[in-house]
Amino acid sequence: EVQTVGGEIDRITKALEEKFGKSLMVTQHHDRLVLTMLGQVLFESGEAELTPLGLKIMKQVGQVLASLPEKYIQVEGHTDNNPIYGQLQKRYPTNWELSTARATTVLRYLIEQTGMDRNQLSATGYADTRPVQTNDSEEGRAQNRRVEIVLYPEQLYLTPEKVATLNP
């Protein structure tokens, strides 16, 4: 089964890299596959509505993800550590709200536009708590503003059905 998961990961990685090149990074963390899209590719600064380019990317990513059998996906929103200020604070008081709104936007796109099963998806906002680079430079902050789509193999995802079968 491990070999099957590995082969599936290789197939997914190759398909996504062929379509997106540097717009999307695909990495493997143990038995999870992580698709990383930089925030500025999907969203305008301080916004949670997909840009025209973001819509194009999500359409293609969604097609690939929807074709996968037995998948469980968590969409994670991340920001840099710059506080939200001015008029944007009315909509997103902190980076927690912005990161969660972006993750939810991507999740809703996957459900509404690709027909993916909502029971196989979740969204989480991490604000600036999980940086991948230092926030001391603009380049580092740009890397930290991202959305990650994490694919879990079925055997790792705890579904309500699996919980019901657990013995106390």
pLDDT at 120 over 50: yes
Query: Is residue 36 one of the residues assigned to a domain?
Result: yes
Q: How many domains does the chain have?
A: 1
- For residue 125, the model assigns a pLDDT of 98
Query: Is residue 81 one of the residues assigned to a domain?
Result: yes
Structure confidence by residue, pLDDT tens digits, 49-89 = 999 999 999 998 998 888 887 789 999 999 999 999 999 99
Q: What is the pTM of this model?
A: 0.84
Strand spans (E) along the chain:
25-29, 32-38, 71-78, 121-125, 146-153
pLDDT at 155 over 70: no
Query: Is residue 73 one of the residues assigned to a domain?
Result: yes
